């Protein structure tokens, strides 16, 4: 009996696969940090982006015909988007994970759709309706509940709020990147834009590593082999593969539906963090996580209606 999947079913599988792979990011990072004092956000980011760079350069090569008739302004915006979205945002996220749990990091990052809505309302001077305000209140209220519970129940070394601030700044940077993306995709094309923006982010990350590390080659030779493998996994399994899966999912389901399925991401991260990192979330924290997800989903659904 031949098994055949519809386009919607295949898109849903791709979206779930991407959500699972993205949810492993914080787990890999935390495990790599625990292996050696030499590993910090800059080192791990460099390993991740060096692993992913060849794929994104290939994307640029195969889609280079899209680059005709681009202005200097187009290229400047592309460089800014690449550095903002997958260099600065990622580095802030990696740095924040040095101080807070993987579970809390994922919940804070999940706020980025609310940030795009808030920013859009300011840019276009549009008033937020009651439903949107309620959604934002739920998502931020839930996040605050999780944060305060973690601060009071988990021992930290005085850098808890620094970690929270870094991860929230990462969400702000990613939301800014998303606001820049639609116009640039129209100009450069979806796959070409992805290849160019992420290649720029890779070069930015590697430049940062070389400047910030006195003897980069010597440092890399001193790292445990397991850390190198974590870096490669972050590049291929958490960056390249889910990027492809998300694009394939969106092409079959649409952005809103793919985002709805992707909302399972925080739950998957928490489950993995509990199973693999020994993290713990009490009932109050799970309640806060639920509020966060409900709020963000209300935002996503309202975007879907607007799109229609």
Closest CA to 103 of 231, 300, 275: 275
pLDDT under 70: residue ranges of the chain = 1-4, 154-157, 303-308
* Predicted pLDDT at 8: 84
* Predicted pLDDT at 1: 44
* Predicted pLDDT at 156: 63
* Predicted pLDDT at 47: 97
Instruction: Round the CA-based radius of gyration of the chain to a whole number and report it.
Output: 19
Q: Are 222 and 230 in contact (CB under 8 A)?
A: no
Q: Which two tokens stand for residue 90?
A: 């990622």
Please name the residue ranges forming H helices in the chain.
Answer: 7-23, 25-35, 41-62, 72-82, 89-96, 102-109, 112-123, 130-153, 160-188, 190-212, 216-222, 225-235, 241-253, 255-262, 265-272, 283-307
Q: Which two tokens stand for residue 26?
A: 């914080």
Give 157: exposed, middle or buried? Use CB within 10 Å, 0-12, 13-18, 19+.
exposed
Alpha-carbon distance values, 308 to 76, 93, 251, 256, 305 (Å): 32, 33, 16, 11, 5
Q: Which two tokens stand for residue 291?
A: 């509020």
Report the C-alpha gap between 112 and 107 in whole angstroms: 10
Report the C-alpha gap between 175 and 199 in whole angstroms: 19
* Predicted pLDDT at 262: 83
Rounded to a whole number, what is the distance in angstroms from the first to the last CA of the chain? 38
* Predicted pLDDT at 305: 47
* Predicted pLDDT at 307: 42
* Predicted pLDDT at 5: 75
């Amino acid at each position: 009996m031949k098994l055949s999947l519809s386009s919607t079913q295949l898109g849903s599988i791709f979206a779930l696969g991407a959500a699972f792979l993205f949810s492993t990011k914080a787990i890999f990072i935390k495990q790599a940090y625990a292996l050696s004092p030499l590993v910090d956000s800059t080192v791990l980011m460099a390993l991740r982006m060096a692993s992913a760079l060849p794929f994104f350069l290939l994307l640029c090569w195969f889609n280079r015909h899209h680059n005709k008739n681009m202005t200097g302004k187009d290229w400047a915006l592309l460089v800014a988007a690449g550095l903002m979205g997958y260099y600065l945002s990622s580095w802030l996220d990696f740095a924040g994970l040095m101080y807070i749990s993987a579970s809390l990091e994922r919940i804070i990052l999940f706020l980025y759709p609310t940030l795009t809505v808030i920013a859009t309302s300011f840019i276009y001077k549009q008033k937020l309706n009651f439903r949107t305000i309620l959604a934002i209140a739920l998502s931020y209220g839930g996040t605050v509940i999780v944060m305060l519970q973690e601060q009071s129940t988990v021992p930290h070394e005085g850098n808890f709020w620094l970690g929270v601030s870094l991860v929230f700044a990462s969400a702000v940077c990613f939301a800014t990147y998303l606001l820049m993306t639609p116009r640039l995709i129209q100009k450069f094309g979806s796959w070409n834009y992805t290849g160019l923006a992420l290649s720029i982010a890779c070069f930015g990350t590697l430049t940062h590593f070389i400047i910030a590390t006195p003897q980069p080659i010597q440092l890399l030779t001193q790292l445990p082999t397991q850390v190198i493998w974590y870096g490669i996994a972050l590049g291929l399994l958490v960056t390249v593969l889910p990027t492809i899966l998300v694009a394939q999912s969106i092409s079959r389901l649409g952005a809103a539906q793919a985002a709805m399925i992707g909302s399972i991401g925080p739950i998957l991260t928490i489950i993995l963090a509990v199973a693999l990192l020994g993290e713990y979330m009490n009932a109050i924290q799970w309640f806060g996580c639920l509020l966060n997800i409900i709020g963000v989903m209300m935002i996503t659904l309202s975007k879907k209606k607007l799109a229609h």
